[in-house]
Amino acid sequence: MTDATTAATEGFGARLSAAMDEHGPLCVGIDPHAQLLRDWGLPVDASGLREFALRCVEAFGGQVAVVKPQSAFFEQFGSRGVAVLEETLDGLRDAGTLTLLDVKRGDVGSTMAGYAAAHLGPDAPVHADAITVSPFLGFGSLAPALDLAQDVGAGLFVLALTSNPEGHEVQHAVRPDGRTVARSIVDAVAELNADTPTDQRVGDIGLVVGATTGAAIAELDLAEALAACRGPLLAPGVGAQGGTVEDIADAFGAAARQVLPSASRSVLGAGPDTSALRKALQATAAHAARVLG
């Protein structure tokens, strides 16, 4: 069955639920920082980027629930870098692995629609199964991306509670209705996932909630709302950024089984040998499965 046919008959949440059950709840990033390229003995140019990315495809394809390339590290090399990104996404798709492109798009109207069309659906030139989006121009601004994702069976991960210090200014702000901005985003995603089958692990629309935001989850009393939203919860920051899956289990409570921890440097540091990368990935995924279920 082709990827396009699968997407048309089965939503992103169903495919992600199956992948999490099969491979464990883990997302691994492809983040080709300049220093990582150097550490792998590769030049910091498009040729080094391609070698790095294709080794990751070989190591990760068919081995993990989701792979998350960070678009910025490809885009910085111009059109040649974007071509590598397309090749990377296509290679992972051919291996039967779901892709989440970290682009954090956020705009309004036809511009948001254009961003969505660039990445979602079988005709998209830089085609991923899901993308990250920013709701901070108002949740309603995401409507074009939400509509297209529903039409083509794709997923979205909406920024909600991030670990950067500046995020507090917006995400913890209190709206006129008494809810924080973060809570309003969680509630909006809950409405979108309301029809998720009860036997399905997660719905189609997810949230981005940093792995090191446990204190904020407690402060804003978000754990129950996160569980109720039914969406997959991408938790970046495991490993090199200080987050652990044990921290996630404690902070997310009843929502822990929805969490998709994201590890990048802690796995990529095992390279450049592909077998070593695969072993690091498998060990991280197995640990996440033991802790989060």
CATH number at 127 reads: 3.20.20.70
Structure-token pair, residue 281: 């990935």
74 is written with which tokens?
């490809």
Domain count of the fold of the chain: 1
Low-confidence ranges of the chain (pLDDT < 50): 1-8
Could you give the CA distance from residue 204 to residue 131 in angstroms, rounded to a whole number? 12
Per-residue pLDDT, 158: 98
As annotated, the active-site residues are 104
Beta strands 259-263 and 205-209, pairing class: unpaired
Domain of 190 in residue numbering reads as: 3-292
Single-letter code of the amino acid located at 4: A
Distance CA 207, CA 209 (A): 6
Rounded-to-integer distance, Cα 57 and Cα 178, Å: 46
Q: Are 229 and 207 in contact (CB under 8 A)?
A: yes
